[in-house]
Amino acid sequence: MNRLEYIKNKWPVISLSVLYIYLVFHAISGSQGIIGYLEYEKKIKIQKGILFELSEERKNLEKHAISLNSSDLDLDKLDIKARQLLFVSDPKEKTIWLDQRE
């Protein structure tokens, strides 16, 4: 009976200890805890890198789109590039493709 009386007297301390342990555990390892915060920081760093790469790609594409403006467009170069990419030529034309690797 001595043990039972000890537990009856100390139950508030024991229950508060268990509550504090529970709260500390979730403060460290929960989704909103310290470990979760560190994982979010890693994700933010990765996403910022991806954002930077995509913004650079967008700037390059915008420059390319501006260069395709009709006032700056060289029709002969466009014709040559289209023929190279599509492998198309008039049946009366003779086309000599040079090896670009050299």
Report the chain's mean pLDDT, rounded to a whole number: 85
Express each pLDDT in 1-12 by its tens digit: 688 888 788 888
What's the pTM? 0.51
- 87/93 Cα distance (integer angstroms): 13
Express each pLDDT in 47-58 by its tens digit: 999 999 999 999
Express each pLDDT in 75-88 by its tens digit: 787 887 787 788 77
- Find how far residue 70's CA is from the centre of its chain: 35
* pLDDT score, position 58: 97
66 band by pLDDT with thresholds 50, 70 and 90: confident
* pLDDT score, position 5: 85
- 57/81 Cα distance (integer angstroms): 22
102 pLDDT higher than 60: no
- 41/43 Cα distance (integer angstroms): 5
Backbone angles phi, psi at 30, to 5 degrees: -75, 170
